[in-house]
Amino acid sequence: MLATLDKPATVTVRRAPVAGETAAPRRPRVIISVTGYNPTADCTPVQVVVKGRIDDGPELEVGRFAITPDRAFDAAAPEAQRFALPLPSELATDKPVRFSVNLVPAEGAQPNSACPTNQPRGAKRGGASVRIGEVEIQ
């Protein structure tokens, strides 16, 4: 699954049953595994925004994260960067949850003047992408 500035990646996930779950289970979380990343052409910082929805219900923001350091990488599953986000209570059910993983410019972000690509100021912010290896609810 590949998310770009123009197109989110989407996946539907169901919470796996937890063996031996006690009467007071911990709050569920969504684990996002990132196996690849490419920064913008002008090195403007980006964020990954994760949203979730059940059936035709409202889309709720689950959380945000950034890839650091802001450098391209390509990793196999064991070396992937993993991000854990607490699942909103409205999405913490046994029903399947449809997640969208969106790549957006960071709020107030400006191009990095020390960008190694030497893009002129105001150049298009294209090229950013994030590859999602796995999404799971724990």
pLDDT confidence of residue 127: 81
Mean residue pLDDT across the chain: 85
- Of residues 69, 24, 50, the one with CA closest to residue 132: 50
pLDDT confidence of residue 114: 66
- Of residues 103, 41, 100, 112, the one with CA closest to residue 72: 41
User: In the predicted model, is pLDDT for residue 62 greater than 50?
Assistant: yes
Average pLDDT, integer, range 3-25: 79
pTM (predicted TM-score):
0.83
pLDDT confidence of residue 122: 46
Per-residue pLDDT band for 116 (boundaries 50, 70, 90) equals low
